Structure 1
Amino acid sequence: MTLTSRPAKRLRSSTRLSKAHTATRSDPPADAINDLAARWIASLPDKATVFSPVGVWPVLAILADPATEDVSADLRTTLCVDRSVEDADLLHAALDTLEFLACNDALDAAVAVWVSQHLGVREEWLARLPEHSRGLLTQTPAVDQPILDEWARQRTRDLFTECPAKIEKEDDFVLASAIGLNMEWTTHFQRISKHKLRQHFRGLSYIRCADGITTVRVEGRSRNQPRSGAINCYLVLGEKGASASDTLSRGLALVRRHGASSISYKNALKLAGPGLTVRIEESCAFQDKGRPYVEITTPGFKVSADHDLLESDVFGLGSAKEEPETLGHHFPGITDNATWVKAAGQSAVARFSSGGFRAAAVTHARGSTCMAAPRKPSPPKFAQALFLDVEIDRAFGFICVEENTGVVLFVGWVTEEQFMDSEKDIRSSTGSK
């Protein structure tokens, strides 16, 4: 968002969100963020995409805090919170969410705000944001843009080399969040063909089937600190010809309902869904001892997308983007000057390789101002082995979830055009934090 007004005190350059911004940090509002993910999924066109609901939610929550009642009401609908939640609590929830994610070594999470000297920003509002997340706009794009580009590059571990927010001379205010995910698989995939990967594991908590959907859970962890909070990537396969929104909507519902919980061995024998083959072999050599053999075959992929948050009603910016009347303004908590959101978007990228998964999203808002519990498996019969084989060979979805809270980090849809076909890409591993 971009604003303009009287001179403001010079601010420090933006740095990574401090891990000690509050004495008592709470977990992210997973239900609210995941409800936003569900609404976003329902609006998706039937094409390749990737987005981060946990990247958008804090930006909208921070905007709701200083907004007028009408603008705040629209944003609250998007944020999936009711009127019992105070505006100030939304800002705290936004910062706590990013701080919580940043404590996971596999994740980067940051927020930043840049203001011009002419904005007339309310110091009391600015002071509620982490000190090191504040920066100064000179209103010289050649000076400001490289600063934002470097911020985006550092916060996404080079997945973005430029900030999607393109600074203009009239910009007085830019609010941005960055989410980065860099994890390795607990068990690496093997390359079996030009663009296919295969992984083997055992257990009753990896595959779910319901409503014409098959989900496969692939476990990830931090490359440098394996004991850091686990992150699961769910691959979602629907019936042939099913749309992206329908497949991902059903997949998200299945993931939210069951998470990483186990099914019973008896129910595993009855599993039926897209891409799944269930085999039973009578062989002492392959006795499974209550833990089926699971095999997943999937393509590696790269996918990216840009989202205009002003084009859809999903994001609650309909009132905020309207140019206010001469004496009106949408964000009185930020400045006395009439302000409105003139641009808002998210750019995201994801990469699934044999060694791990990398993804990043940068969400930005720019505006203008005018003055004025698992179940125990049943034991199998002696010498019986159950094999659950899933092969993904067509368009499919993915949902990345922080395991402890269940909050959705990234969602995407992959078509054959995004399948990796080079040995360098498909074998590439994750970087370090």
Structure 2
Amino acid sequence: MEQTTLEDALSADEITAANELTRRWLTARAEVPAVASGLGIWPLLAVLATGAVEATLEELLEAAGIDIGQAAAVPAALLDAVRSAPALSLALAAWAGPEVTLDPDWIAGLPGDAVGALTGDPSIDKPVLDEWASRNTGGLIDRMPVDLNAPIELLLASALSVRTKWRTPFQEDYGPFQSGPWKGRGKVLRASYREEVLRVGPDAAVLTVPGDDDIDVLLATGREDAAPQEVMSALIDAAADARWGSPASAPAPSLGVTFHEYQASTPQTAPETNAVVPAFRLDTDLDLLEDAAVLGLELASDDEFAQFDRLAAQRLYISQAKQACTAVFSATGFEAAAVTAFGMAFLGAAPPQLIHKHRCAEVTFNRPFAYLARHRPSGLILIAGWVNDPVE
């Protein structure tokens, strides 16, 4: 039986909605995170919406960019389609405490055997939840990013991972950058391409690094005076539109792109690009309630006005919303993961204390830049972030 692909499972409008959530979230933050996943949040908003009513429901649907019918269908469709993408893994799950009576219709809408149990004892629950996070990210993230010492009656979580090998591996220079803001820092990687991988727009130059199994990683360097949010937005535009910008063979040198000419024994038959990038390993822990307005969680996290009447017999609100992410860009490939968790407590419970934590173009990423990983056939953005300081 032929498996459903992502581009078949999700409509173009749904893919756009998921990508636009990523754009709104990352560009609304005071600082763009080093690594984050809007896609890790998107299906959880849909799951929450199916249990919400009235204003809470409207706020969640508006943030997710879908209607209630799509909210009921998207999580299962997304999980099913990811099985056809060898580079991707996605899991969704819920764990309920002994005092919560979940709505049978809400449970029926969850994919497969997604519901587990919480005992309320962190010494028992934490190893189980941490093992789930590790198993569903291939060991990239080994913990569930919530405080189990605070009251949690229901926990919703997603685990996303992506792994790809470069079609054209990089060569390691084993030395730092020799110029630019990162002079003397970073591990330099170099690769040469004989295909159109570099596009230049008015505010950014975007390099597409093709990986195996339908994964691309896109890097964007912008004007020196451009805010990270502007560069990220330009990168998402470029990821969504193959017509964005101009081929690097056309424009004049700009935005980190230089040109040189050399002689060879054979004619040039394809665009040529040399890429100089840093290896990086980045980790972040994000408190999503800091972004409640853009993520549609303001009412959902209000311990007086949250309305989840179709989720459980008891009144619940989101008391914690966290995401732990990691991304590794190396000479041979890219791997990243995100675990997103929404902890729900009874209304009226004390809120937890939250912790805020030929003619050849050459493009050089020797200063802060934006990046994202996408599923090539569908255009779905999986992971994105801002490299402020490469660590390898």
- Normalised to the residue count of structure 2, the TM-score between the two structures is 0.87
**Alpha-carbon distance in structure 2 between the residues aligned to 1:47 and 1:34:** 16
Are 1:26 and 2:17 matched, yes or no? no
Report the counterpart of residue 294 of structure 1 in structure 2: 273
Q: Give the letter for the 1:198 counterpart.
A: R
Are 1:61 and 2:50 matched, yes or no? no
Report the counterpart of residue 234 of structure 1 in structure 2: 218
Query: RMSD value over aligned CA atoms?
Result: 2.4
Q: Give the letter for the 1:74 counterpart.
A: E
Q: Give the letter for the 1:352 counterpart.
A: F
Report the counterpart of residue 419 of structure 1 in structure 2: 391
Is the Cα–Cα contact under 8 Å of residues 211 and 250 in structure 1 kept in the other structure? no
Of 90, 98, 110, the match for 2:71: 90
Per-residue deviation at 1:170? 3.5
Is the Cα–Cα contact under 8 Å of residues 141 and 169 in structure 1 kept in the other structure? no
1:217-256 to structure 2, matched below 5 A, reads 217-221=208-212, 228=213, 230-256=214-240
Per-residue deviation at 1:303? 1.1
SS, match of residue 49 in structure 1: coil
SS, match of residue 206 in structure 2: strand
Report the counterpart of residue 182 of structure 2 in structure 1: none
**Alpha-carbon distance in structure 2 between the residues aligned to 1:117 and 1:296:** 55
Are 1:132 and 2:113 matched, yes or no? yes
CA 1:143 to 1:73, structure 2 compared with 1: closer, same or farther past 3 Å?
same
Is the Cα–Cα contact under 8 Å of residues 176 and 365 in structure 1 kept in the other structure? yes
**Alpha-carbon distance in structure 2 between the residues aligned to 1:44 and 1:351:** 23
Report the counterpart of residue 402 of structure 1 in structure 2: 375
Report the counterpart of residue 304 of structure 2 in structure 1: 324
**Alpha-carbon distance in structure 1 between the residues aligned to 2:216 and 2:189:** 17
**Alpha-carbon distance in structure 1 between the residues aligned to 2:120 and 2:322:** 21
1:194-213 to structure 2, matched below 5 A, reads 194=175, 195-204=187-196, 206-213=197-204
Q: Give the letter for the 2:322 counterpart.
A: G
- Normalised to the residue count of structure 1, the TM-score between the two structures is 0.79
SS, match of residue 73 in structure 2: helix
Where do 5+ consecutive residues of structure 2 fail to align?
176-186, 349-357
1:49-78: per-residue Cα shift (whole Å, max 9, x none)?
Answer: 211111110011110111011001111221
Per-residue deviation at 1:115? 0.9
SS, match of residue 255 in structure 2: coil
User: Taking every aligned residue pair, what percent have the same amino acid on both sides?
Assistant: 26
Q: Give the letter for the 1:58 counterpart.
A: P
Is the Cα–Cα contact under 8 Å of residues 99 and 109 in structure 1 kept in the other structure? no
Is the Cα–Cα contact under 8 Å of residues 144 and 341 in structure 2 kept in the other structure? no
1:329-379: per-residue Cα shift (whole Å, max 9, x none)?
Answer: 6111111211111111211111101111110001111111259xxxxxxxx
Q: Give the letter for the 1:199 counterpart.
A: A
Where do 5+ consecutive residues of structure 1 fail to align?
1-18, 222-227, 372-384, 421-433
Per-residue deviation at 1:172? 1.7
Q: How many residue pairs were aligned?
A: 366
**Alpha-carbon distance in structure 1 between the residues aligned to 2:302 and 2:272:** 57
Are 1:335 and 2:312 matched, yes or no? yes
Are 1:368 and 2:359 matched, yes or no? no
1:95-106 to structure 2, matched below 5 A, reads 95-106=76-87
1:3-42 to structure 2, matched below 5 A, reads 26-27=9-10, 29-42=14-27
Q: Give the letter for the 2:344 counterpart.
A: G
**Alpha-carbon distance in structure 2 between the residues aligned to 1:101 and 1:45:** 32
1:272-311: per-residue Cα shift (whole Å, max 9, x none)?
Answer: 4311112344x3525212x022110000011111222212
